[in-house]
Amino acid sequence: MSIYDIDVNTITGEKCSLSNYQGKVLLVVNVASKCGLTAQYEELEALYKAKAADGLEILGFPCNQFLGQEPGTEAEIQQFCTLNYGVTFPMFAKIEVNGANRHPLYQALITAQPSAIKNPAGGLAAKLGEMKLLPSDDSDIMWNFEKFLISSEGEVLARFAPDVTVTSAEFKAELDKVLA
């Protein structure tokens, strides 16, 4: 199954096929409004503004599975993102990224890239490990703001740990290759 065969719901409730994004480079991110990493919205929006004309689409998927850090309704999430970070990239309805109710999109992404490129400093993984919050399955999404980079042909090229930001050398190198 291709990711383009998967349907999602927009943050405003409309059904949307990911085939609408065929031919674009995609960055799929599970997001949250009340997370220590929430400020990444600012970097994501800056990247979107800088690279959308080059064919990049950022798709934000709110998820409340990590310490309840995305408790709001879709309307509240949309308002938060717009007012606080000026988010203009597409946002979608809340989904689950781990467990029995994992959304088919995340099932496909994880199957294609079972492990993430980690932050060389190892900050978040060590902290979550100390707090006993790391998922038991290494292929599960570690936390909010994990990122998947997908080619314009729908190939899942790379997966980045939540603390690998879109301004990091690791991410930029992969993005530059796929946009070239």
* pLDDT confidence of residue 125: 86
* Angle (CA) 83 89 90, round 5°: 105
pLDDT above 70 coverage of the chain, percent: 100
pLDDT higher than threshold 80 for residue 1: no
Alpha-carbon distance of 62 to 163, in angstroms, equals 17
Identify the CA nearest to 31 among candidates 112, 89, 109: 89
Structure confidence by residue, pLDDT tens digits, 42-99 = 999 999 999 999 999 999 999 999 999 999 999 999 999 999 999 999 999 999 999 9
pLDDT higher than threshold 80 for residue 8: yes
pLDDT higher than threshold 90 for residue 129: no
**Domain locations in the chain as residue ranges:** 3-179
Annotated catalytic residue: which of 16, 35, 63, 81?
Answer: 35
* Active site (annotated) includes residue 35: yes
Alpha-carbon distance of 77 to 170, in angstroms, equals 29
Please name the residue ranges forming H helices in 10-138: 40-51, 74-85, 104-112, 123-130
Alpha-carbon distance of 127 to 130, in angstroms, equals 5
- Tell me, which fold does domain 3-179 have in CATH? Glutaredoxin (3.40.30)
pLDDT higher than threshold 80 for residue 10: yes
pLDDT higher than threshold 90 for residue 39: yes
